[in-house]
Amino acid sequence: MTGAGAADEPMARAAARLRTAGLRVTAPRMAVLMAVSDSSGHLDADTLRERAQRITGRLSVQATYNVLHALTDAGLLRCTRIPGHPARYEAERHDNHHHFVCRGCGAIRDVECTVGAAPCMEPRLPARYDTQEAAVTFWGLCPGCAVPPPAS
């Protein structure tokens, strides 16, 4: 980010995405959408609120949650709920990806969809169960948390 003019383009893009999704364009919605789009990670509401406030000024916790729900409902954000962690948000890319969660540090990384299309996995279910999506969470240790193999 350099100079004030640099912020105009992402702002316009955020506004366009809100309109396309059928949402009213408001400053908090633009700010939260920009905060999510700026990061490649999976951020919780607190972190997003902090980042959005740098763009739009004060934003209450409740306002942040309202915006996150509206953007998620409209299909602009993807919300991932992992037991033991606050809900994480990322830009919805409709790529049907899964997540790996590190048991050591809590880091979350994307895992590509196994077959490239939903529902990705075929559960063993009786006929007439219409599976539409598979959201898989892989648990384990990231390289930073894994115990290094003994040096030989």
* DSSP collapsed to 3 states, the chain: CCCCHHHHHHHHHHHHHHHHCCCCCCHHHHHHHHHHHHCCCCEEHHHHHHHHHHHHCCCCHHHHHHHHHHHHHCCCEEEECCCCCCCEEEECCCCCCEEEEECCCCCEEEECCCCCCCCCCCCCCCCCCCCCCCCCEEEECCCCCCCCCCCC
Of 25 and 142, nearer to Zn ion (C-beta) is 142
Of 135 and 142, nearer to Zn ion (C-beta) is 142
Q: How far is the CB of 71 from Zn ion (least distance, A)?
A: 15
Of 56 and 137, nearer to Zn ion (C-beta) is 137
Q: Enumerate binding residues for Zn ion (CB under 5 A).
A: 90, 102, 104-105, 107, 110, 142, 144-145
Q: How far is the CB of 99 from Zn ion (least distance, A)?
A: 6
Of 39 and 53, nearer to Zn ion (C-beta) is 39
Q: How far is the CB of 77 from Zn ion (least distance, A)?
A: 11
Q: How far is the CB of 105 from Zn ion (least distance, A)?
A: 3
